Structures are given as structure tokens and as C-alpha cells.
A and B are shown apart, each in its own frame.
Chain A
Amino acid sequence: MTAMKTALRLGVLVGAIAVLAAIAISMASAQNAPAWIDQDENWATSKQTLQAFGERFETSEALYEALKRAAGSIEPLTWQQMGEPAYDWSGIYTRTKGGLQFDPDMSQESGPASAKLTPAGQQVLKTKAEQLARTGGEYDPISDCRPPGTPRWFTEPFLHEFIVTPAQTWLINEMVNDVRRVYTDGRDHTPAEDAYSTWNGDSIGFWDAETLVVHTKYLLPGQYQRGVQPNYSDQTTVVERWHKVDARTLQADVWVFDAVNLSEPWYTRQSWTELTNDDKQLRIRYWDCRENPNNAIITTDAGTSQFPDFTFVPNDGEVSSDPAVKQAQEGRGGVR
């Protein structure tokens, strides 16, 4: 009986130590959360610091909570603050650099992505490289105007608008009228039992002084971009820190977690620059593939892309040497 009591006490003691250790580690993580780091001549080192910071967490939820603890007391923004430069994100922006690379620090000639991949993730890259080597092309699912989805959203090169309000921030991509809403009114994510996946998932956030911290989950699978770049799974979650770094530039630290494709979180610094728009002719307008039938795209048997039917070519099936075009024409019975 005494031995049992001793064992019980020992168990409680070990449990308590484990809990205290977890709390200590968690507090240490919060205390060591790096503040916003500017992209200066030491960026390569800073980037490693931010990558390493992400790797300290098993989940994006743990990283997000650490950033929340580091922020201390969180005060919602007020409408009076909206005119302050830190929160005035008005204007028309575009991606600062990176082309179609998810990691803007990579050039198009850099080869594969900077992500640390699982064997499954590596296999995806290998398969894509082989497809491109074999056919010289590919088919992009967004050719039919479906949304790119997050995290691919970060790479799209067209116009953007960013609307900050106290309760929500809207991150708008011109392409296919794509809006990410970040709720900053203190609400939590949709409960797991009621959640459903969407292209841009469910985003909540808070303001740590002049930095917007965002957590996103419940995403559909996709690819970071075309070319030899990784895929992401429906287990993907994302943590972001948005910050206006100067009068024309918005940037975001982005940590992507995906146990299927990534062996470690993938850190990148994304950036958008406000465009000169003196005559105010740059505007976000509705975008739909059906505006012009010449933009219809089909996939070929080889897995590449093709136009099935030009309005300005009276006999596509006869002129084209591509069997996919002939098949498309036959499928339509020769009637446009």
C-alpha cells in the first residue's frame, strides 16, 4: 500500500514536472519570438533565424500561440487608428519580386524550391520535373479560372488590394476575384466538427502593435506554383506576420506547415509594392475566363495545355496538328 502511494506520488511529481517544463518551454518560445526583421544586407542570416524559429514548433497552432503570448495583451484596433500609416494599406499593389517562385529569394533558374521536403514531397518534384522534361509543358488547374488557393495565393503576380478594419482585414487578389478574410475580432477558428475545406481556408488573427498575425487552416490541396515547385496537402496550415515596412511596401513572414509534403515548416518572406496610379486607371475589376472564348484551355493527352477552338480560326480541327484540338472539335460536332 505504501509502495503504491509512493508510486502515485512519484507519478504526480513527474507529471507536474512535465507540465512545468512544457510551460517553461512554451514561455521561452514566446519570449524568443523574433520581432519583425527588416530585409537588409544581413537578410540571408535573418532568414535562417526565422526558418529556425518556425522549426521549433511541431504545429502551426503552437507557433501562432507563441506569437500571441509574445504579443502580451492584445488590443483590438479602433477606427481612429485606421488613418495611421501602419494600418493604412490602401492603394493598388503587386508582388515585389519572385516571379512565379513561391520563395521570392529564388530565381527562376534556381531550380527546385527551398523547402525541406518529405520523401513524398520530393517524389512530387521528381514527377513534375520528368513531366516537363518529357513534354516541355504542363497543365495548370487554374486555367479554368478556379482560385489559386492559399498558400499559392502569395505568388500570384497581378493586382492586389489590402483593406484593414478593426474587426477584419481583407487580402484581395485581382485574379478571379479572390479575397482572403482575416477575422481580428477575437473569434476562434470554426470548430473542427463543423469545419469544411475551402481554397483559402479559415483565417483568424490579431494585431501585435503594428504587425498583423494570422493563422489559416482548413485548406484544399494545391501546388505552390507551376514548374518544379512542391504541392501542398489538405493538412496544410499557415502562420503569417504582416507588416507595412515603408510607405509603398507591405511584407509578410509566412510559415507553411504540411506534414505530408514538408519535413519542416517552410519559411518565406513575401512582399508587395504599391504601384503608381496617378490617373487612377488601375482598378480591381471582376475577372472570369468566360469573358472571351479564345481563353478556353484544355489538357492534352500528354498533360500539357492547348486552346481547343479559336473564334478567329474557321477550321481549327483542319489547321491544327494537335490531336487534342481535333478531338475537341469532333466532340463539338464541328459546331461552335
Chain B
Amino acid sequence: MRRALLNRSNRLKRSNRLRTLAVALGLTAFVVPLFAHHSSAMFDDKKEVTLTGVVKEFQYTNPHSWLLVDVKGPDGKVTTWGFEAEGPSTLQRAGIRKGDLAPGMPVTVTGHPMRDGRPAAAWIRATRMTDKKEFVPRAGFAIR
């Protein structure tokens, strides 16, 4: 009986310690990584960049897809930007097929830019300018 009480007491103490740790860690808990396959540390999730250009290539690949868009700057210089999204099956679930964003199509894309200054971003949403249809890759995680 005494042993059982001691065990219970130890368990309660351990439980309290865990609760304390939980509170301490909860203060520093981070929001979920944007991507499920690699950490999104390279993207600045506090910033957004919106660019308009022409689809150069839609790399519909695992584990991640890349929408390459040629963007013309004020000086007329063209820079290719890469927008990263989840892989093909998640895009399909979001209603984004490879043919939806074919080379040459004008698009406006919004994403979280890279922290290191390179022309790439985590794709948040893209609008096909011809019909204003919007493509949101993260919608692919919804259950339908």
C-alpha cells in the first residue's frame, strides 16, 4: 500500500515536472514548418512578395514542385523566379494540374521570399491572368 502511494506520489511529481516543462517549452513552441518534407527555415514567413510574369516552366516533381516564372524588372531585365510548392499529389488535391500553368501563360504569384536574397519563394497563391483563376497549393491538404 505504502509502495503504491509512493509510486502515485512519484508519478504526480513527475507529472508536475512535465507540466512545468510543457509550459516552459510552450513559450518557445514554433509554428508548423511550411513544408512537410523539409524545414522551411530558408523562407521568411513574415514577409510576402508578389510578382507578375510569364510561366517559364512548371516543374511538377516530387518531393516538391517548382513554378518558374520570368519576371521583367523596371529596367527591362528578366529574372527567373522559382516558387516552391508541395509535390504533384498534393497539387492535384488542390486542383492544380500541370497543364493549368503552361509555359507562356501570364501569372501573378505571391510567396514567402528566401531570406538569403535569391529569387525564390514559398508559393502561397498564383493567379492565372487570362481568367483570374487562383491556385493555392496548401489547399491540397484539405480532405475532400
Contact = CB atoms under 8 A, between A and B. Distances in A.
Interface residues of A, number: 65
Interface stretch (B47-55, B102-110, B112-120, B123-131): B112-120
Given A307-B120, A320-B118, A292 B29 contact: no
Contacts of A91: none
A307 B22 contact: no
A237 B70 CA distance: 51
Nearest to A295: B64
B70 to A, nearest CB: 10
Interface in A297-323: 297, 304-307, 310, 312-313, 316, 319-322
B21 A143 contact: no
B82 interface: yes
Centre residue among A100, A295, A321 by max chain B CB count within 10 A:
A295
Contact of B28 (A132, A291, A322): A132
B3 interface: no
B29 A158 contact: no
Interface of B: 14-15, 17-18, 21-23, 25-26, 28-33, 36-42, 56, 59, 61-64, 66, 68, 80-82, 84, 87-90, 92-93, 114-120, 141, 143-144
Interface of A: 94, 96, 99-100, 108-112, 116-117, 122, 125-126, 129-130, 132-133, 135-140, 142-143, 145, 156-159, 174-175, 226-228, 263, 273, 275-276, 281-283, 285, 287-289, 291-292, 294-295, 297, 304-307, 310, 312-313, 316, 319-322, 325
Given A111-B23, A319-B117, 15 more contacts: A108-B31, A110-B29, A138-B41, A140-B37, A142-B37, A158-B36, A227-B33, A292-B61, A292-B64, A292-B66, A294-B59, A295-B61, A297-B38, A307-B114, A325-B118
